[in-house]
């Protein structure tokens, strides 16, 4: 999304309202219902331009423990100082990449920065609930509710030889 900031730069207005839909980069195992709804303002306070945005993105994914479908929403706050091209050196911009957005000509393009912020804010592990117990490792049924009827105390067959050694010691 290119925001025309020419009137703001000329001093004709001191505020631009921003409202658009951004389509994020695909995330493995996640589908998006629609794009991210982005809204906010770009305000000029005596040459100090501040961009304040919020974005909401609805998604559908699988629970990392039980594979149940999960619907959720990611919300991010995006705040940056807007500077005209050439105001800061390349080194200053690189050192403070999370603080500035650059106005090139009379336009501000924030899509790349917003997509990165959404990707970084997206949960690493999506769960249907914090106390999800997952799936039974033996039968694969959900452990929630009735769960499964598998024998819970399962031993590792590699340690069966140790049981025989213990039994021999007690027999002697």
pLDDT tops 60 at residue 85: yes
57 — pLDDT class (breaks 50, 70, 90): very high
φ/ψ of residue 15, rounded to 5: -155, 135
Q: What is the mean pLDDT of residues 111-126?
A: 87
- Distance, in Å, from the CA atom of 59 to the CA atom of 119, rounded to the nearest integer, reads 13
pLDDT at 16: 93
């Amino acid at each position: 999304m290119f925001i025309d900031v020419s009137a703001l730069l000329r001093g004709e207005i001191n505020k631009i309202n921003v409202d658009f839909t951004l389509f994020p980069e695909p995330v493995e195992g996640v589908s998006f219902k629609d794009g991210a709804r982005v809204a906010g303002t770009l305000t000029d306070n005596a040459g100090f331009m501040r961009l304040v945005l919020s974005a909401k993105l609805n998604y559908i994914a699988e629970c990392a423990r039980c594979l149940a479908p999960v619907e959720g929403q990611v919300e991010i706050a995006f705040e940056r100082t807007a500077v005209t091209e050439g105001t800061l050196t390349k080194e200053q911009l690189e050192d403070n990449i999370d603080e500035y957005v650059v106005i090139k000509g009379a336009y501000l393009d924030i899509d790349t920065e917003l997509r990165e912020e959404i990707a970084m804010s997206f949960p690493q592990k999506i769960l249907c609930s914090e106390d999800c117990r997952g799936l039974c490792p033996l039968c694969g049924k959900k452990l929630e509710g009735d769960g499964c009827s598998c024998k819970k105390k399962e031993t590792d067959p590699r340690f069966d030889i140790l049981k025989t050694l213990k039994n021999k010691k007690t027999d002697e």
